[in-house]
Structure 1
Amino acid sequence: MSDAYYLQLTEQLRYLIDQHTVQWGGKLPAERTLAEFFNTTRVTLRQALAQLEGEGLIHRSNRRGWFISPPRLMYDPTRDAGFNDYVRAQGREPRTTVLTLESRAHLPAAQALGLPDNQPFYHIRRRRYVDDRAVLAESLWVVPERAPELLDVYAGQSLWGLLRERWGHHLANRTIHMGSEALAPRDAEELFVAPGAAGLNIRRSIFDDQQRPIEYDEEHWLHDSLCIRVVLSGQH
């Protein structure tokens, strides 16, 4: 009976969200209000909310409540287009906060780029927003020899654009790994969600047209914020 009601409640919530999205301004009423409206317990209500969260229809922000998720961003990880460019091209508003600028070793980057374990990197840590929602926490690990004094000139702009314009690099070859993940505490905190929230991990190893290692990226996306779309042309 409980399982049957939980499924019914999920569908009722889905209908209510569809009918009142504009009226609610993107934010769901408080859990207590919803529980009273449906004459149910908050435990059962949270089961239904968690189901809709898993589907990407709604999302929860720490200490702020439940929100209706905006349309997913269409994202092609193989393209060189900068974050700001492809977000604006979809009629959305991007924003970036630089969290860390430092120089240190990072074993995963060294292994991915075929460099010694103690290889130092320029590390840039950023939080990315779409329409004022934090959706991406990323670390960029750049080989210092390829971009001398990078940390002195970097100010939140497109890193790929800077590498191309200032140092003449052509990012010709890359290896991309994608997989689902439970967000680690640091990533979750930076995205204002609870640790263990569903995420998508994208790792990118980038080389220039002479096969020299340039950069290693680690991206941690909220799972409901994007849709991966890769366009292929030509015949093989």
Structure 2
Amino acid sequence: MSDAYYLHLTDRLRDLIQDPEAFEDDRLPSERVLAERFHTTRVTLRQALAQLEGEGRIHRSNRRGWFVSPPRLDYDPTRDAGFNDYVKAQGRRPRTEVLLTDTRPHPPAAEALGLPLDRSFHHIRRRRFVDDRAVLCESLWVVPERAPQLLEGDFTGSLWGQLRERWGLTLAHRSLRLYSEAIHAREAEALGVAAGTAGLSVRRTIFDEQRRPVEYDEEHWLHNALCIAVELENSV
């Protein structure tokens, strides 16, 4: 069919998903049902669905189908608030699963923190959920000297809170790098999406008040899960 029909179909689907009662549990009908409903081919339908996915209006879950995307989470990467705190503050339900803990070298962390490339780190890999949807897969790399016996703790809550309470660390100096990415296979599997799905990468390096290296974080977010929101004030 023509590009004009594909754009027309996209508009019709966009209007449809704005109706909160159109679908049960926010799940769209199967592609076969939608194609029959709109008298179109699966190829044209997928063009329209891909357009809406790119806009962040719908998302696809492996082996489950298409869903209307929930409202984006406002996320300020410069704040000290933990994931659980800022998710709850927006009336949403957070949950965390710890996927792996170990101690080993990670050259990107060493390079970012100005340490020898063969330096070992305490590593914590987590999957985080908002309203039962996996939205973030993260790896945290902590300098062992800053937090001995770190891996004996509970990591379903705030790691920053543990570093403050157990070792008296002040996370005083941070740098951030944010960029769009195609989510790699490992993170895609953890998030239940196809490899190559659009995502947002956040890289964070953290030093204490003495400028000692503390932590390097790698976050992989689904692109339609959040809105970067940073408030700034000009000093007079």
TM, length-normalised to structure 1? 0.98
Greater mean deviation of Cα atoms: 8-17 or 131-140:
8-17
8 Å CA contact 2:184–2:195 kept in 1: the answer is yes
Q: Where does residue 192 of structure 2 map in the other structure? A: 192
2:172 pairs with 1:161: no
Aligned pairs for 1:214-225 (under 5 A) are 214-225=214-225
Q: Partners in 2 of 1:27 and 1:85 — Cα distance?
A: 28
1:92 match: secondary structure: coil
Shift of 1:24: 2.9
Q: Which letter maps to 1:9?
A: L
Greater mean deviation of Cα atoms: 212-221 or 25-34:
25-34
Q: Partners in 2 of 1:19 and 1:215 — Cα distance?
A: 44
Shift of 1:21: 4.2
* Runs of 5+ unmatched residues, structure 2: none
Shift of 1:23: 4.2
For each residue in 1:151-186, what CA deviation from the matched residue of structure 2 results, as whole angstroms up to 9, or x when unmatched?
012342210000000000010101100000000000
* Distance verdict in 2 for CA 1:187–1:56, change over 3 Å: same
Aligned pairs for 1:145-156 (under 5 A) are 145-156=145-156
Q: Where does residue 24 of structure 2 map in the other structure? A: 24
Q: Partners in 2 of 1:210 and 1:114 — Cα distance?
A: 14
Shift of 1:235: 2.0
8 Å CA contact 2:16–2:22 kept in 1: the answer is no
For each residue in 1:124-153, what CA deviation from the matched residue of structure 2 results, as whole angstroms up to 9, or x when unmatched?
000000000000000000000000000012
What is the percent sequence identity of the aligned residues? 68
Q: Where does residue 34 of structure 1 map in the other structure? A: 34
Provide the aligned C-alpha RMSD in A. Answer: 1.1
Shift of 1:226: 0.1
Q: Partners in 2 of 1:40 and 1:90 — Cα distance?
A: 39
8 Å CA contact 1:21–1:68 kept in 2: the answer is no
8 Å CA contact 1:30–1:65 kept in 2: the answer is yes
1:194 match: secondary structure: coil
Shift of 1:16: 1.4
2:164 match: secondary structure: helix
Shift of 1:95: 0.1
Aligned pairs for 1:55-134 (under 5 A) are 55-134=55-134
Shift of 1:19: 2.7
Q: Which letter maps to 1:211?
A: R
Q: Partners in 1 of 2:145 and 2:76 — Cα distance?
A: 28
2:227 match: secondary structure: strand
Shift of 1:228: 0.2
Q: Partners in 2 of 1:143 and 1:71 — Cα distance?
A: 36
Greater mean deviation of Cα atoms: 118-127 or 226-235:
226-235
Q: Which letter maps to 2:195?
A: P
Shift of 1:218: 0.2
Shift of 1:25: 2.5
Shift of 1:20: 5.1
Q: Partners in 2 of 1:174 and 1:101 — Cα distance?
A: 23
Q: Partners in 2 of 1:88 and 1:169 — Cα distance?
A: 25
Q: Partners in 1 of 2:59 and 2:21 — Cα distance?
A: 14
Shift of 1:187: 0.6
Q: Which letter maps to 2:8?
A: Q
